[in-house]
Copies of this chain bind each other. A is one copy, B any other.
């Protein structure tokens, strides 16, 4: 594909992008396909000789679109939002063009330095404690990870290294595996599955702690667990607190947990994957109080802050503790300027990394902090609008509290009837939601996911839910 062909194809793609968003309401939010649908549409071998761009372009609609779940459809209310913005797309074009692999400072100085600077910018927008900034006297700083799962894993592995070393210092000659049996980590029953997965990968013991009536993990619960485990001769070393759980957007009490973590000298990681974006609004920032006690903090601008996946921002107070867990030093990666700027390869699991700070930079500049705040506030307003509908209908009840742009609700009554309702909603296909289950209570989740979702869409969503509930209750009676 030469320059002229690329320019023509690129222009066609730009128009396609605009058109896709303009006419997305004409598409079915959930595709109507069965597993295996695509194999019939494609040959079973790659072509030997180049195909024409037009053939490939036509296959976007013929092959791909019939099986797309449209996450940016205004009627998509499933999971949590994932960002999709023009500024991020433009930045990705630039990232794909420079196409550097920024594993060390030397491999592309701009890739590292822009990340350091933009992570400081964002830390200031969030009013993070000074110690998380690269400009602080210590070893604080931010790094862009691919996903919150990876950020949690990095935190767990870093803490594991730190505490294994302590145990081994006290017990010279003890094997890693044996020392490992002494460590124990904690999280709440409501934390994301990736926390448990990180513990499984680290192969550490862990305890799933109970929450209070608001699905919030409290300091005394953690303290009690730590005391019990110390009495058994174990070494508590890690707590992952969640701000905005996936199931119901509950908030752990980070102030209490932070104090306990500090007193007990364990690593505290805060996973605010979804809700973290809201902390750019001063009125939601108090939800992050307690972060001053944390060793690491993470949220996903690729969820609710307009930066297209993947951009999971993580800050640590002491980056030396991160790099200790990952450091290997081959000759071909050494360079003259080591130590002056971070070599981000020591901050995460992969070696290679894209120039992802570009999209965070473009988004912050082209929306402005105020523009991003407006979107958060509007989405939360829409969630409350849906909440009002639910509260006014005596057949329904709200589960938990509506704090962010997620409404958890259910028909009063059995789990079974709610399981039927969600199935009917998704079979109907006009809107899309997923359910969840907290301590045996099954409920539906309406998550405001796109900037295209407006007041009338919420009216429509309620209309669909209410109508399908009518039908269901009629059939059931």
Q: Which residues of A contact B (CB under 8 A)?
A: 1, 3, 5-7, 9-11, 13-18, 20-22, 31, 33-39, 42, 44-51, 53, 55-56, 60, 63-72, 78-79, 82-90, 92-94, 96-101, 105-111, 113-114, 117-118, 120-122, 124-125, 146-150, 153, 157, 160, 175-181, 192-194, 196-197, 200-203, 246-247, 302, 308-310, 325-326, 328-333, 337, 340-341, 349-352, 354, 358, 362, 364-371, 434-437, 442, 445
Contact = CB atoms under 8 A, between A and B. Distances in A.
A184 to B, nearest CB: 11
- The residue among A1, A150, A202, A340 with the most chain B CB atoms within 10 A of its own CB is A1
A14 B22 contact: no
Contact of A203 (B203, B330, B365): B203
B109 A33 contact: yes
Contacts of A14: 6-7, 10-11, 14, 93
A178 B181 contact: yes
B34 A366 contact: no
A44 B119 CA distance: 11
A96 B185 CA distance: 37
B50 A22 contact: no
Contacts of A22: 3
A350 B108 contact: no
Nearest to A39: B117
Contact of A46 (B37, B48, B369): B369
A196 B328 CA distance: 8
A330 B193 contact: yes
